[in-house]
């Protein structure tokens, strides 16, 4: 196995960070610094150390699905002392961390793992993993606005790519003044869904991620977590679909 992959698979660092560490001489193989990423590792015989600490490839890999409630920060530690998603997985002693990010007020499916390679692959833009959201907005966006959302709108971080946008109807909690949508995006720009709707003049009042790739939140209660099944892990690993074009138009 290539050295940077070995480190990433062990959950120590992303592949990119591992390569940097190798270049900087922070990785040793059998006691000797190796400066070349790609250096072959015999996983049964070689002793790899990252910044002086032994890297064990046999460490248990954990893949956790959390139903994140609103009001929890997606970070391992918050300097402002707010509740973090780590507070909800305290029974897990392994060093897991969130894969990607949901805003403070966003609810729904969040993955946590100690497998750096897996996390890197899942969040890298080139893999274009589809993410599905339920969106509750104020007002009733026009057909023109929905078309713009599907085709791409300009938000502060750039133009959004094509998205699948389905109108689900009026919001049950309003008398016709609010609407609900299902949105599938393939990128992870900051606050993307909220900013997309803002760009067409509508405020998102609630946002919930219900699916990542083929992985569904299902009826996991808010605040609860569970381990992914081997089938779900294998499925996510194979989810990347380069060049995937969402269906247009849709309902
Ligand atoms: N889009 C958002 O606006 N927020 C999220 O948390 C995820 C997607």
Q: What is the pLDDT of residues 145-183, one digit of tens each?
A: 999 999 999 999 999 999 999 999 999 888 889 999 999
Q: How far is the CA of 44 from the centre of ligand 1 (A)?
A: 42
Ligand 1 contact, 132 CB (< 6 A): no
**Of residues 102, 105, 173, the one with CA closest to residue 131:** 102
pLDDT, mean of residues 68-88: 95
Are the C-beta atoms of residues 181 and 135 closer than 8 Å to each other?
A: yes
Query: Would you give the DSSP letter of residue 209?
Result: E
Give 116's pLDDT tier (boundaries 50, 70, 90): confident
CA 140/CA 244 separation, integer angstroms: 29
Ligand 1 contact, 102 CB (< 6 A): yes
Are the C-beta atoms of residues 191 and 207 closer than 8 Å to each other?
A: no
Among 37-41, 59-63, 70-74, 129-133, which stretch is predicted with the lowest mean pLDDT? 59-63
| CA nearest ligand 1 atom 2, residue | 191
By most ligand atoms within 8 Å of CB, the mutation choice from 111, 134, 194 for ligand 1 is: 194
CA atoms 55, 229, 237, 114: torsion sign: negative
CA atoms 127, 128, 132, 137: torsion sign: positive
Among 34-43, 52-61, 240-249, which stretch is predicted with the lowest mean pLDDT? 240-249
CA 154/CA 125 separation, integer angstroms: 18
Among 105-109, 114-118, 173-177, which stretch is predicted with the lowest mean pLDDT? 114-118
Of residues 51 and 219, the one with the higher pLDDT is: 219
Return the SS3 of 64: strand
Enumerate residues 6+ apart whose C-beta is below 8 A from 203. 137, 138, 139, 197
Q: How far is the CA of 233 from the centre of ligand 1 (A)?
A: 23
Ligand 1 contact, 74 CB (< 6 A): no
Residue 63, CA atoms < 13 Å, CB-side half-sphere = 18
Ligand 1 contact, 110 CB (< 6 A): no
CA 107/CA 210 separation, integer angstroms: 9
Of residues 178 and 47, the one with the higher pLDDT is: 178
Give 57's pLDDT tier (boundaries 50, 70, 90): low
Distances (CA, A) of 192 to 103, 147, 162, 185: 10, 17, 12, 9
pLDDT of 240: 43
Which residues, listed in sequence order, are joined to residue 166 by a DSSP beta bridge?
A: 182
Q: Which helix (H) or strand (E) holds 165?
A: strand 164-170
pTM of the predicted model as reported, rounded to 2 decimal places: 0.76
The mean pLDDT of the chain is 89
pLDDT, mean of residues 182-204: 97
* Tens-digit pLDDT profile for residues 204-246: 999 999 999 999 999 999 999 999 998 898 888 775 444 333 3
Hey, which of 4-8, 54-58, 113-117, 190-194 has the most confident mean pLDDT? 190-194
Of residues 241 and 190, the one with the higher pLDDT is: 190
Q: How far is the CA of 219 from the centre of ligand 1 (A)?
A: 21
Give 10's pLDDT tier (boundaries 50, 70, 90): confident
Task: Catalogue the active-site residues.
Answer: 103
């Amino acid at each position: 196995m290539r050295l940077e992959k070995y480190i990433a698979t062990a959950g120590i660092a992303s592949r990119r960070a591992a390569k940097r560490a190798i270049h900087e001489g922070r990785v040793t193989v059998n006691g000797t610094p190796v400066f070349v990423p790609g250096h072959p590792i015999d996983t049964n015989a070689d002793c790899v150390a990252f910044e002086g600490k032994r890297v064990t490839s046999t460490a248990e890999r954990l893949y956790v699905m959390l139903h994140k409630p609103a009001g929890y920060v997606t970070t391992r530690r918050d300097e402002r002392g707010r509740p973090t998603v780590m507070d909800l997985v305290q029974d897990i002693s392994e060093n897991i961390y969130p894969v990607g990010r949901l805003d403070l007020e966003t609810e729904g499916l969040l993955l946590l793992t100690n497998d750096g390679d897996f996390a890197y692959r899942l969040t890298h833009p080139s893999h274009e993993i589809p993410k599905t959201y339920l969106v509750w907005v104020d007002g009733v966006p026009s057909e023109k606005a929905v078309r713009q959302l599907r085709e791409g709108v300009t938000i502060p971080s750039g133009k959004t790519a094509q998205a699948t946008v389905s109108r689900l109807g009026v919001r049950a909690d309003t008398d016709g003044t609010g609407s609900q949508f299902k949105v599938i995006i393939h990128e992870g720009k900051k606050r993307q869904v909220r900013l997309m709707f803002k760009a067409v003049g509508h405020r998102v009042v609630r946002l919930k991620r219900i699916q990542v790739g083929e992985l569904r939140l299902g009826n996991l209660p808010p605040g609860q977590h569970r381990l992914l099944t081997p089938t779900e892990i294998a499925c996510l690993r194979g989810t990347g679909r380069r060049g995937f074009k969402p269906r247009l138009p849709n309902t």
